[in-house]
Structure 1
Amino acid sequence: MTDDAIPAQSTGGEEHALSLTIGDRRRNRPEPSLNDPVFHISDLDVWYGDHQAVRDVTMLIGRRQITAMIGPSGCGKSTVIRCFNRMNDLIPGARVTGKVAYHGENLYDPDVDPIEVRRRIGMVFQKPNPFPKSIYDNIAYGPRVNGMKGTMDDLVEEALTGAALWDEVKDKLKSSALALSGGQQQRLCIARAIAVRPEVILMDEPCSALDPIATARIEDLMAELAADFTIVIVTHNMQQAARISDYTAFFTADVDDKGVRHGRLVEYDTTVKIFENPADQRTEDYITGRFG
């Protein structure tokens, strides 16, 4: 790999500047390990009607690790992450085969409740989607629906503090969430996700609509949340994956003999290994910009 594929140091002196150093947001975190997996995905295939969108994905997701999924558009990253909390169930014609085991239990067994799955495995989407309610009610909605015990004021404060938003909104909790900036709205959505106390947070390109300063704050937040949550992120930003993640999965799209594209996992390893010494030439070609 060329030495300039990922620049070695930050440019600019802003407090929240985006460094390009591999592992920059991982400082003071434990060494990456898959010895305590939360997910065990094996032989995963995903179909939309007659089209096989993803084929033959096998990987482990470690507990309290940040796992990044990278790859060109149309390679199945978002399709795969939506399998982890059964969001694909909501797409007409979608069908999942293989196994997605969460602490050893197949999430696609008929007796598994998808609503409970989504409580334990929360999701933050590409575009911030706060409810047209107050900041307070956005956070309180999930705990109320789930019948959670405790003082609601305390639950709201805990979630907003966990999402590094409390100090910015504590004096305007009754104001509309839609009045917040884009970066604040995304942190509100993260607070809403953690308010129901999940174990896993899935993030599908959570920074794609944000400016660099807001992106840096979200990345700092992810690094802090990884002390308590397992995080899986889809990102088109390779530098982001390099900065924040413990493990990186590189996906690409193969074209079969009929000219149909199918997403496929090419390589999965520690982020340092993927970015500094990938095992597959396709990974190196993508990271160095030769294709994608």
Structure 2
Amino acid sequence: MVADVATETVLRTRKLNVFYGTNLAVREVSLDIPKNKVVAFIGPSGCGKSTVLRCFNRMNDLIPSARIDGKITFHGSDIYANKVDPIDLRCRIGMVFQKPNPFPKSIYENIAFGARLNGFKGDMDELVETSLKKAIIWDETKDKLMQSGLALSGGQQQRLCIARTIAIKPEVILMDEPCAALDPISTLKIEELIYELKQQYTIVIVTHNMQQASRASDFTAFYNVEATDKEAKVGYLAEYNKTEVIFQNPARETTRDYISGRFG
């Protein structure tokens, strides 16, 4: 299923199936992720949103039983080809997790550590400042860069984690429910940040918050889940289109029911 995308496609899946052992978790997902846009993944628990998201930078490789078939390309190149180094891929396609997870280091070192690890040879002070500014947290941290990142509030910690991701200079940022653990004010700050970041990055966000998806994204993918003959549940991509279409005139009744709260 491919939305009406007029801009350059950065990530593309075709007939993507994800297995855990012999169990099929997500079936036949085909979609295009356009450059410098925000794509929201929505749907009920267990429908495969996070599973598909983690395929984009091969985080599922860290689960021994996980495997895929089908194809995922990044600028036309197969990211699961033998020659692709997953670590290099994760530098180009960064990830922000549900729970803020700053390193037990200073705010400065939270930004510098990954960059150093990836061989950054430039002006580290400038990189730290630029990354924190892009994450809209510089003004709150510039006078306490040597203090622990763990001393920040939850919302600040999440923006620090986003700054840490920015510092490794990715092209794509994946966000797996980045506001799930945050209060409404912090959530709005993250949404404002997402809007600013899409000027330079392509963003894919998993969210259970319908208002967030409608406010923050350009395109929305609705995933659903169905029972198989074996009574196992399999996720699939039910509908993908511009966010305004999904929320105002969805093609499927199940999509309409989900976004209106009548689902199930």
Q: TM-score normalised by the shorter chain: which range applies?
A: over 0.9
The residue type equivalent to 1:102 in the other structure is F
Paired residues of 1:34 and 1:61 also in contact (CA < 8 A): no
TM-superposed CA distance for 1:247, in Å, is: 0.1
Is 1:291 the counterpart of 2:238? The answer is no
Cross-structure match for 1:15? none
The residue type equivalent to 1:212 in the other structure is P
Paired residues of 1:250 and 1:265 also in contact (CA < 8 A): yes
In 2, Cα distance between the equivalents of 1:34 and 1:72?
Answer: 29
1:148-167 alpha-carbon deviations (Å, 9 max, x no partner): 13110000000000000000
The residue type equivalent to 2:11 in the other structure is F
1:158-195 alpha-carbon deviations (Å, 9 max, x no partner): 00000000000001000000000000000000000000
SS of corresponding position for 1:139: helix
Cross-structure match for 1:258? 230
Q: Of the candidates 231, 247, 251, which is equivalent to residue 275 of structure 1?
A: 247
TM-superposed CA distance for 1:142, in Å, is: 1.3
Q: Of the candidates 209, 221, 226, which is equivalent to residue 249 of structure 1?
A: 221
Cross-structure match for 1:209? 181
Q: Of the candidates 85, 88, 91, which is equivalent to residue 119 of structure 1?
A: 91
Cross-structure match for 2:191? 219
TM-score, normalised relative to structure 2 = 0.97
Is 1:72 the counterpart of 2:44? The answer is yes
Moved over 2 A (4+): 32-35
The residue type equivalent to 2:230 in the other structure is K
In 2, Cα distance between the equivalents of 1:118 and 1:36?
Answer: 21
State, as a whole percentage, how many aligned pairs show the same letter: 62
The residue type equivalent to 1:152 in the other structure is M
Paired residues of 1:38 and 1:102 also in contact (CA < 8 A): yes
Cross-structure match for 1:193? 165
List aligned pairs for 1:50-61, cutoff 5 A: 50-61=22-33
TM-score, normalised relative to structure 1 = 0.88
Cross-structure match for 1:162? 134
Gap regions ≥5 residues in structure 2? none
Cross-structure match for 1:24? none
SS of corresponding position for 1:81: helix
TM-superposed CA distance for 1:34, in Å, is: 3.9
